[in-house]
């Protein structure tokens, strides 16, 4: 759950925000926010590509 102590601000363009807001309103239901939708999208992305990121970290660690 996002709370003032557990969240961070990021900047996105107005066009991107408007697109995400429409999706959040339509599919998210009452109380679903742009921040909640973005959080879920990022978590899904990080989990889907975890192996790739882990490989990059390993490569960076070897070159340092």
Give the model confidence (pLDDT) of 6-57 as tens digits: 888 899 999 999 999 999 999 888 788 899 899 999 999 999 999 998 898 8
Q: What is the pLDDT of residue 22?
A: 92
Q: What is the pLDDT of residue 1?
A: 65
Q: What is the pLDDT of residue 60?
A: 80
Measured at the alpha carbon of residue 10, what is the angle toward residues 21 and 52, in degrees to the nearest 5? 95
Alpha-carbon distance of 20 to 35, in angstroms, equals 9
Is the pLDDT assigned to residue 64 strictly greater than 60? Answer: no
Q: What is the pLDDT of residue 38?
A: 93
pTM of the model: 0.72
Alpha helices, H only, 1-64: 14-28, 34-48, 50-63
């Amino acid at each position: 759950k996002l709370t003032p102590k557990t969240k961070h601000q990021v900047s996105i363009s107005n066009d991107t925000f408007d697109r995400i807001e429409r999706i959040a309103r339509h599919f998210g239901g009452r109380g679903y926010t742009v921040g909640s939708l973005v959080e879920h999208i990022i978590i899904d992305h990080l989990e889907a590509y975890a192996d790739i990121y882990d490989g990059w970290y390993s490569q960076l660690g070897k070159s340092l």
